[in-house]
Structure 1
Amino acid sequence: MTLAEPVRRWRARSGEALFLRVAGPHGNRSRERIHHRPGPRWFEPGAAVRVVHADASMFLGGLRSLLLQSLHPAAMAGVASHSDFRDDPWGRLAGTSTFLATTVFGTADDAQAAIDAVRTIHGRVRGISPEGIAYSADDPDLLRWVHVAEIESFLVAHTRYGAHPLTPARADEYVAQTARIGRALGAVDVPETVAELEDAIEGYRPVLRATPAALDAAQFLLREPPVPWTLRAGYSALAAGAVESLPPWAADALELRRSRAGAAVGRAAGHGATRAVRWLLAGQPEG
């Protein structure tokens, strides 16, 4: 037996474990349905949204989006009051990753069913936080914030760490395609170009701030990661890349101080972690 065979088996086992961590215990069944159930899709093969959402940089972009989204007080109030991200972070991640995969790669019927399910949940999430912040998960402007923070994060992560970064025209295509999902969820005035996306983020700046709940969430995500010790090094590298990719004003608000040297280390860590994830998942079955 050559050395390559044990490495191949280890890669397959580790990749499967990582996939099931992110996709949940029924990940293989979901993958089969999402990618192989016959029927029309919202997005054709080769679409920019498929390129971005199939890349390992999504791991880093997802973490970045959580940090950025937390800076909207109403959004963070809703998460703090209704989400089980502390008690069941992997379950929440599995739900989010399955939703993204279904809307981007699944049949049109399954994509719409996923949208309808999320909108039903959003209709029940409303209230006032202990700090007196009113929130409603189906508020169109709040949905717009969550959408733009998420899409901008995925795009920034893909530009920095993606295997095949998009051209400017393809980046605009990505924003326009994801706008379909944002509007389906109930968001209004959804950006359709990179320039509009950047303007939208900038437009929210006056209302963004780090509430105690946001600082607590950042502490949990970055300092108390919900991962076993065997995955801590890889997770920490992804987290360093996510923090490095945040705009300076967002990192400052979350009290994530960065030096020039620290930013360089964070980017190197992000590259290393993303390449490691890509290598592990490349040994998994095709979607």
Structure 2
Amino acid sequence: MSTTEQRVADQGLVGPRSVTWQLHADPAMWLAGITSLFLQALHPLAAAGVVQNSNFREDPLGRLERTARFVGLSTYGPTQDVHKAAERVRALHRTLRGKDPETGRVFRVDEPELLLWVHCAEVSTFLTVVHRAGLRLSKPQADRYLREQRASAALVGLHPEDVPGSTEEMSRYFRRARPELKHGENSAVVYRFLHRPPLQGPLRHGLPVYEPAVAHLAYSLLPSWAIRLYGEPAYPPVVASAMLRAARTGALLIPASIRWRSPTGYLPRAIRRLGPDARPSARLLPEC
């Protein structure tokens, strides 16, 4: 087989007939990504790791963009490219340390328990927000999504068998994790930053719209227990759901060929690599 044929045959980690392939193309993923950052920050060590190691104040959109890039590549990129990127991420994480704000203990940001929290906070948020936005998923499809996401957990150094692979397992994980979560000084920094990032230039003029329509909506999409931990007011659930669905409907009016180019363009490249049958569609959600 030629190199070109190998690339054409390479469907990546999950392939076009996966739940992941369809779900990660949904426009509600934009809001889900921000919601996941709010949730991750409730873990004191996760929040400390971000605040102490990230340059988000100088590069306010960088964290979200990097997360979107890695999710896009790991979903739609060729397998070799995915593993190369994952090695770079693991190598970076091996060099990073944080200090526990309560005990002063120095910790590695790639400790398995911390990696597991970040993974679970991320993928559970993607699943619940996109489903709440209107992508109809059966419980078996939701379970399959979490099983598929064990492959992305392995990319950052987790053992797949240690990662929740069903909605029941994910619920049990959060019940175990919740006693460790709290709203503290570092999560307050993240909360304020996500609501009002220090944008410069023309982008700053969009803040009056961004804060209520995007940031506070994303915060309001957190689980009710997470909102209680933050202790900050949120839109009522019925209002948040209506705003989310309206935002998704509006985004769906943008031609997919344009929408999928942003922010990384991995999906259009996957369609060129694999052919038109790789175009995401809710109709292609696998029967489970």
Place the TM-score, normalised by the shorter chain, in its bin: 0.7 to 0.9
> Take 2:205 and 2:105, find their aligned partners in 1: how far apart are those partners?
36
> Take 2:51 and 2:170, find their aligned partners in 1: how far apart are those partners?
26
Deviations 1:232-267 (A, max 9, x none): 4255323343223212221122122247xx332222
Identity %: 33
Cα displacement (A) at 1:117: 0.9
**Does the 8 Å contact 1:243/1:256 carry over to 2?**
no
Deviations 1:107-131 (A, max 9, x none): 1101111111110110011132555
> Take 2:211 and 2:30, find their aligned partners in 1: how far apart are those partners?
10
1:191 counterpart residue number: 164
> Take 1:157 and 1:46, find their aligned partners in 2: how far apart are those partners?
21
2:275 counterpart residue number: none
- Counterpart mapping for 1:112-123 below 5 A: 112-123=83-94
Cα displacement (A) at 1:90: 1.9
> Take 1:176 and 1:160, find their aligned partners in 2: how far apart are those partners?
20
- Counterpart mapping for 1:43-192 below 5 A: 43-129=14-100, 131=102, 132=104, 134-162=106-134, 164-188=135-159, 189-192=162-165
**Does the 8 Å contact 2:153/2:163 carry over to 1?**
yes
* Count of equivalent residues: 249
CA RMSD across the alignment: 2.3
Residue 221 of structure 1 aligns with an amino acid whose one-letter code is L
> Take 1:182 and 1:70, find their aligned partners in 2: how far apart are those partners?
19
2:229 counterpart residue number: 253
* 219-228 vs 238-247, greater mean Cα deviation: 219-228
Q: Which runs of 5+ in 1 are unaligned?
A: 1-36
Cα gap change, 1:264 to 1:64, in 2 (>3 Å): same
Q: RCO (CA 8 Å, sep 6+): is it higher in 1 or 2?
A: 2
> Take 2:75 and 2:33, find their aligned partners in 1: how far apart are those partners?
15
Normalised to the residue count of structure 1, the TM-score between the two structures is: 0.79
* 135-144 vs 237-246, greater mean Cα deviation: 237-246
> Take 1:271 and 1:278, find their aligned partners in 2: how far apart are those partners?
10
Q: Secondary structure at the match of 1:127?
A: strand
Deviations 1:128-185 (A, max 9, x none): 25552533111011100000000010001111114x3221111111000011110231
> Take 2:90 and 2:57, find their aligned partners in 1: how far apart are those partners?
22
2:189 counterpart residue number: 216
1:8 counterpart residue number: none
2:273 counterpart residue number: none
Residue 217 of structure 1 aligns with an amino acid whose one-letter code is V
2:179 to 203, 206, 209: 206
Normalised to the residue count of structure 2, the TM-score between the two structures is: 0.79
Residue 233 of structure 1 aligns with an amino acid whose one-letter code is V
2:214 to 219, 230, 238: 238
* 69-78 vs 265-274, greater mean Cα deviation: 265-274
